Structure 1
Amino acid sequence: MSKFDAIRPFYDSEVNNALKSSLNHPMMKALMDFTFPDVDDEVWKTKLSETHSIRDFQCNFIYKSVQKVLEKSSDGLTTSGFEKLEPNTSYLFISNHRDIILDTSLLNVALFDNGLVMTASAIGDNLVKKAFLHTLSKLNRNFVVQRGLSPRELLGSSKNMSEYIAQLLLHENRSVWIAQREGRTKDGNDATHSGVLKMLSMGSDDKDIMAYFKKIKIVPVSLSYEYDPTDALKMPQLLAEAKKEIYIKEKNEDFITLLSGIIGQKKRIHIHIGDILDSEIDEIVAEEQNPNKQIQLLTQKIDDSILQSYKLWPTNYIAFDMLYKTNQFESKYTVDEKQLFQRRLELRIDENSTVLREGFLAMYANPVVNKLKYNNATV
């Protein structure tokens, strides 16, 4: 057994058996009916039975599933910055995290469309407790992040995952996607957790972790959705935090959120690829010798890239003006756009709860607040 067997996706040699064992699962039928509504079951079953690699599964099935999601629940995906990336080259994409499944799925669609290496992507084990979802994640080149561990277990798990990521990037020429912190951003404040970089540094054979970070080619990625399809679902956790209470998830909450993210209305979506962090790392090394402080400075570089390049939508400006009772950005949206957003707020949030209302508005307004901190950012 490989030491990575507990977390890795399928090898191509395992793909066909996994697909054949899933052919008659009701969730596979639901996925295929959604993706190919006018195709008889036997047609897609035959095609799946003839699929022997993750790439073929992604290109022939999942790519088309994501296109159908975009068609039915968005006004389209736009991208920028992909021209900075080289074909046949692996990168470590560190991104803000808005949606459980779509963030990585959309990035891979854009990478494929640009002729670039698609990613292996981190996914929390809380999201793949259902056997079919675990199989599907492994077919999509997801590797598992183990949650809820003791400090000792966490150290071992983090080292194992960091070594697996290094194996992918440096020896298999496979790009990797990882979120800038554990879990999705609930309040619109995108911030990189230094623990993510500390975990990644465990994969280095070299004591010079900044040299390692240069070698794996870190690329900050900024994802933004005009409407967050799970905005209202994030409110109970924010309410608990406001009351200083421990938030306990409902049974199947992750699964419901996953589905809501896929089918919920998103309007426009944008992905921006930041600059590969290279000269920035040189600047850090020249400025600071303490490894912990170097990681803190690199964390800030990633944040700066993500926040400055975040695509702001009318919803962000509307929420800012509503939350702060101003008309500072009224030129950025129309009356109709504001009415539509207000209607969404009314339908999703109890008007008698000031905490929920302000939390909902802040989720959309905070990207504007964060961008205002940068003098050279276009707001």
Structure 2
Amino acid sequence: MSKFDEIRPFYDHEVNEALRGVARDPMMKALMNFTFPDVDKQVWRKQFKNIHSVSDFQHNFIAHTVRQILEKSSEGLTTSGFDQLDKNTPYLFISNHRDIVLDTSLLNLVLLEGGFIMTSSAIGDNLVQKTFLHVLAKLNRNFLVQRGLPIREQLQSSQIMSEYIKELLHDKKRSVWIAQREGRTKDGNDATQQGVLKMLAMAAGDLALTDYFKTLKIVPISISYEYDPTDSLKMPQLLAKHRDEEYIKGENEDFTTMLSGVLGQKKRIHLHAGNVIDTELDTIAEQFENKNKQLQAIAKIIDDSIIQNYKLWPTKYIAYDLLHHTDTYAAHYTEKEKQLFVRRLEMRIDPNDAVSKDYFLSMYANPLINKMKSQEIFR
């Protein structure tokens, strides 16, 4: 037994048996029908028998699934910055978090097609409560972030996860993906939670914090969707916060959100890989002795990279102008694009509800607002 057994994905020798175990699950049939719409189920079930590693499954099945998602629910995926990365180096990718499934799936497709080391990716165990989803996550090299634990157990869980990430990067030479925060950004304000960095630092051992973070080779990732397919689904939680009420998720809310994110229209998508955080850590070590101050400074570097490299689609400029009753950014979009966005707004929320309307528009406008603020700081 390994101390990582509760959170790790399948080992390769476990893959075939696990795949056979879910081959007849209705959800697997639905997934394969989506991925290979013109292929008889007996064909892919037969192919499952020849899958004996996570890599086999990702190359032969999941990559095709993600390509189908892009074809059916987007107008294409573009990238930048990846040409600056070394194809044989494992990186710790820390990204903004907008979609439960797609954020890491799209990154891994880019890595696969570019010949880079693919990631082992963090996913909250609350998102894989259904047996099929749990098995699928482990087949896709996801490791589990344990949620809702008592404080003492949470500390122990964080320690184990920190050590597991270290083992993946240093010993297994496997890249890792984690979100910059727990849960998706609901309001468009991408910010790194210091707790995520504290967790990473728990495995530093005798190394100084900044020296250890250098060994992780952190690469900030900026993910930008032109349309957020789950925009209206985020509204109830935002409105509950506005009313200072506790928000309680519905029984199948996470699953519904996952499906909406995968199948809903996203239009254009862009992924940017930032520069490896390296020499900045030396500066931080010189400026701050206090670890919390160092973590705050590292979080700011990640945030600045994500915000500055975030692709601003026309929807961001349209939302800003509608929110502020102006035409400041009219040069960044066409009248047709504006009309389509207004129609989306009217179809997804009650346009007579001023509070909901403001939250919806702010969700789209905040990346632009934050980028403008960030650029002011750097001037």
Tell me the TM-score range normalised by the shorter chain. over 0.9
Give the distance between the partners of 2:71 and 2:148, measured in 1 at CA.
Answer: 37
CA-atom RMSD, angstroms?
A: 1.1
Where in structure 1 do 4 or more consecutive aligned residues deviate above 4 Å?
Answer: none
Deviates more, 1:286-295 or 1:27-36: 286-295
Give the distance between the partners of 1:371 and 1:300, measured in 2 at CA.
Answer: 13
Counterpart of 2:257 in structure 1: which amino acid?
Answer: T
Alignment of 1:331-370 (within 5 A): 331-370=331-370
Measured after TM superposition, the shift of residue 310 of structure 1 is: 0.3
Counterpart of 1:344 in structure 2: which amino acid?
Answer: R
Q: Is the Cα contact below 8 Å between 1:308 and 1:377 reproduced in 2?
A: no
Deviations 1:70-90 (A, max 9, x none): 000000000000011112211
Deviations 1:56-83 (A, max 9, x none): 1001100000000000000000000001
Give the distance between the partners of 1:116 and 1:375, measured in 2 at CA.
Answer: 31
Q: What SS does the corresponding residue of 1:247 show, helix, strand or coil?
A: coil
Deviates more, 1:82-91 or 1:308-317: 82-91
Alignment of 1:154-193 (within 5 A): 154-193=154-193
Measured after TM superposition, the shift of residue 286 of structure 1 is: 1.6
Q: Which residue of 2 aligns with 1:244?
A: 244
Deviations 1:138-171 (A, max 9, x none): 0000000011111111101100100000010000
Identity, in percent, stands at 63
Deviates more, 1:279-288 or 1:250-259: 279-288
Give the distance between the partners of 1:92 and 1:252, measured in 2 at CA.
Answer: 31
Alignment of 1:223-242 (within 5 A): 223-242=223-242
Counterpart of 1:135 in structure 2: which amino acid?
Answer: V
Q: What SS does the corresponding residue of 2:109 show, helix, strand or coil?
A: helix
Q: Which residue of 2 aligns with 1:221?
A: 221
Give the distance between the partners of 1:89 and 1:275, measured in 2 at CA.
Answer: 14
Q: What SS does the corresponding residue of 1:219 show, helix, strand or coil?
A: strand
Q: What SS does the corresponding residue of 2:75 show, helix, strand or coil?
A: strand
Counterpart of 2:74 in structure 1: which amino acid?
Answer: S
Counterpart of 2:190 in structure 1: which amino acid?
Answer: D
Alignment of 1:26-45 (within 5 A): 26-45=26-45
Alignment of 1:84-103 (within 5 A): 84-103=84-103
Q: How many residues align?
A: 378
Alignment of 1:1-379 (within 5 A): 1-375=1-375
Q: What SS does the corresponding residue of 1:3 show, helix, strand or coil?
A: coil
Give the distance between the partners of 2:62 and 2:232, measured in 1 at CA.
Answer: 27
Deviates more, 1:282-291 or 1:8-17: 282-291
Give the distance between the partners of 2:26 and 2:49, measured in 1 at CA.
Answer: 16
Deviations 1:7-42 (A, max 9, x none): 000000000000111111111111111111111111
Deviations 1:351-378 (A, max 9, x none): 2211111000000000000000133799
Give the distance between the partners of 1:207 and 1:216, measured in 2 at CA.
Answer: 12
Q: Is the Cα contact below 8 Å between 1:206 and 1:212 reproduced in 2?
A: no
Give the distance between the partners of 1:170 and 1:375, measured in 2 at CA.
Answer: 35
Give the distance between the partners of 2:344 and 2:332, measured in 1 at CA.
Answer: 19
Counterpart of 1:161 in structure 2: which amino acid?
Answer: M
User: TM-score when scaled to structure 2?
Assistant: 0.98
Give the distance between the partners of 1:49 and 1:27, measured in 2 at CA.
Answer: 18
Deviations 1:226-258 (A, max 9, x none): 000000000000000000000000110000000
